[in-house]
Amino acid sequence: MDDQALVKDAELVREEAINAHHDHLITEIESADGPLATTLRAVYDGDDLDKFMQRLDCRIKNHDKEIERMCNHHYQGFIDSVRELLQVSNDAAKLKEEIQTTNDALQKSCAPLLAKGEELIQCRRIQKNIASAIEKQLEHTYLPRVSSHWFSQTMGDAIPKLRESIKDASMSDLKDFLENIRKHSARIGEVAMRHAAEQNNIDPSIAKQRRRRRRAPPPPNPFTGEVEIQEEPEPDQVDEEGARETFETYYRKQRRKQARLSLNPPSNMYESLDAYKLYFHDVVGHTEIDDMIRKSTNLLLTRTLSACLSTLIKKPSLSLLQLIQISINMNNLENSCSSLEEYISNITGAEKDSIHVAKLLGTSMFKDARSEAEEHIYKQLNVKIDEFLDLALPSLGMVNREQTTISNYDWMLTESKGHASGYLMDLIAFLQSTFMSFTNLPEKVARTACMSACKHIASSLMDFVLDNDVKQITMGALQQFNLDLIQCEQFAASEPVPGFNDGTLLLAFADLRQLLDLFLNWDWSAYLADYGQAKCKYVRVKPDVAISLLEKLNSGDKKKFVFASLKKNERDKKKLLDTVLKQLKGLVNGTAPQQGSGQ
């Protein structure tokens, strides 16, 4: 009995040894990265090939069960994804049909407008030809060319008579206008003094006149003589006849005469208070007439036009190109204010050193409007950038979005595509075409917009890779992300607007560049050794940022291979990654030395 027990124990030990040897061989087959010749030779050199095959079949069945279990676990998610894909396909087909219908309706509704536009262009062309014919060229250029025809002589004789008739009519209107000014100056002065008393709270008795309250009439038309607002005759009507200087000289001479008459007190002025009032009303009314032009212009610029421009700029429907055009227009209008001041001074006859010279407030108003338009340009440019980024990064900018969705960016890529992502190529193309339209903007504005755009892109990409909704990242995805960043850096280095040839724009992407270089080069020894030093190679990479990305990378690598835990190099990498994580967390908590051995 003892001998049988010993034999049985020996066989049991031998069986366990064989099983252990077979398990070791199977483990080498599963984890080996190189040739299997040595392992296979050891299998066939043994005397227990059948037992090894049984052991191998058992291991295969166990793995099959594990794979089946994992497939069953993810099967429902796969089915749901397929259903969502089919739903998206149906929605895309419906959207395509709606777009086609809308396009057809738009083409149909715009057809009459296009036709009317062509008619308008033709009419404008005819008007331009008529205007050209009416100018002096008719008399001195075109009529001599047809002098052989009888109507040429008739028209040549009639043109001087028409010119003189126009001059006489214009002079008559000017005289009526001056007479009307003299007639209404006392009434205008009375109203102006009453309004001044009300606004400045002085001499309340003036504001309580028995006469019916009236508004100050608008300045009379200098060519029609009417007090009501009327359209002035075309300036070219006087300019074309070469009599503008004559009319201006006559107007100023008559106004000086009227000023002397107004300032000369009547002989009975001392007899009553009403006579004094009438005298002062006449004097004030005379100067209100000329100042009305300056005050009305400033009122138009500061109150009416300023409010209209502010409302226009804030319209959400304005496109980026429209805002750029508004900024260009404001800049030109701001520069033209000095010419407008000179023009008004010439009309009123005020000398350059006179206290009555026109001082417009339009310069500051247009400057404010331009600054507001520029701010909206920067905001609108960032909004357009977000629209492109949303093609791959819909979860970005969660502060401004009510809902978030799963990112379309594939963070589980096994390897990069070899080129930048399509959404980023489209974004770069958009920015290049947009900055070409900045050529008429001041260089400072163009540079500010370009720097703002690059910073916004860099910030959005950094938020994207550190988004809490992204749980797993593979090294292949980081390599793809690196290609996208390279595309951004090439754009920044291309000097998209003048004045950025010193590499300043590249600084906007410096944080991302150092972060990706650290991970792609796996340069943890340099990072941990130089941490805290001013000349650290990765001075822009904060430990908490590195920890966040490293944990995502660790989680992503766990799902990369089913048997990853069985491979020796994967185990070594996992051990090294855990060591680096521990040292980084020590840096954050202040409990680890500023030097490590990560490779």
Instruction: Please choose, from the candidates 258, 86, 80, 91, the residue with its C-alpha nearest in 3D space to the C-alpha of residue 183.
Output: 258
CA distances from 436 to 97, 288, 321, 405, 455 (A): 35, 50, 11, 34, 19
- Cβ proximity of 139 and 156 under 8 Å: yes
Task: Enumerate residues 6+ apart whose C-beta is below 8 A from 319.
Answer: 380
Q: What is the pLDDT of residues 58-100, one digit of tens each?
A: 888 888 888 888 888 778 888 888 888 888 888 889 999 999 9
Q: What is the pLDDT of residues 440-494, one digit of tens each?
A: 788 888 899 999 999 999 999 998 888 888 888 888 889 999 999 999 999 999 9
CA distances from 580 to 265, 538, 597 (A): 100, 15, 8
- pLDDT at residue number 394: 43
Instruction: Please choose, from the candidates 523, 556, 520, 519, the residue with its C-alpha nearest in 3D space to the C-alpha of residue 537.
Output: 523
- pLDDT at residue number 222: 41
Rounded to a whole number, what is the largest CA-CA distance in the chain? 162
Q: In the numeric block, which tokens belong to residue 387? A: 């629209």
Question: The tokens 């095959």 sit on which residue?
Answer: 53
Question: The tokens 């052991």 sit on which residue?
Answer: 55
Instruction: Please choose, from the candidates 276, 280, 267, the residue with its C-alpha nearest in 3D space to the C-alpha of residue 188.
Output: 280
Instruction: Please choose, from the candidates 227, 214, 213, 233, the residue with its C-alpha nearest in 3D space to the C-alpha of residue 183.
Output: 227
pTM over 0.85: no
What is the three-class DSSP state of 445?
Answer: helix
Round to the nearest angstrom and report the end-to-end CA distance of the chain. 62
Instruction: Please choose, from the candidates 506, 511, 502, the residue with its C-alpha nearest in 3D space to the C-alpha of residue 491.
Output: 506
Angstrom distance (rounded) from CA 587 to CA 531: 9
Instruction: Please choose, from the candidates 544, 503, 506, 546, the residue with its C-alpha nearest in 3D space to the C-alpha of residue 526.
Output: 546
Residues in the chain: 599
- pLDDT at residue number 40: 74
Instruction: Please choose, from the candidates 538, 546, 539, 532, the residue with its C-alpha nearest in 3D space to the C-alpha of residue 577.
Output: 546
Angstrom distance (rounded) from CA 171 to CA 176: 9
Instruction: Please choose, from the candidates 553, 533, 552, 545, the residue with its C-alpha nearest in 3D space to the C-alpha of residue 588.
Output: 545
- pLDDT at residue number 76: 81
Angstrom distance (rounded) from CA 313 to CA 151: 55
- pLDDT at residue number 144: 80
Residue numbers of the chain with a pLDDT score lower than 50: 204, 206-241, 356, 394-407, 561-566, 594-599
Angstrom distance (rounded) from CA 592 to CA 133: 91
- Cβ proximity of 322 and 437 under 8 Å: no
Sorted by where each begins, the domain ranges of the chain are: 150-313
- pLDDT at residue number 451: 92
Residue 288 phi/psi, 5° resolution?
-65, -35
Amino acid residing at 246: T
Question: The tokens 């001195």 sit on which residue?
Answer: 140
Find the DSSP H helices in 201-272: 204-207, 235-239, 244-263
- pLDDT at residue number 59: 83
Q: What is the CA radius of gyration of the chain?
A: 44
Angstrom distance (rounded) from CA 16 to CA 150: 132
Q: In the numeric block, which tokens belong to residue 134? A: 């009416």
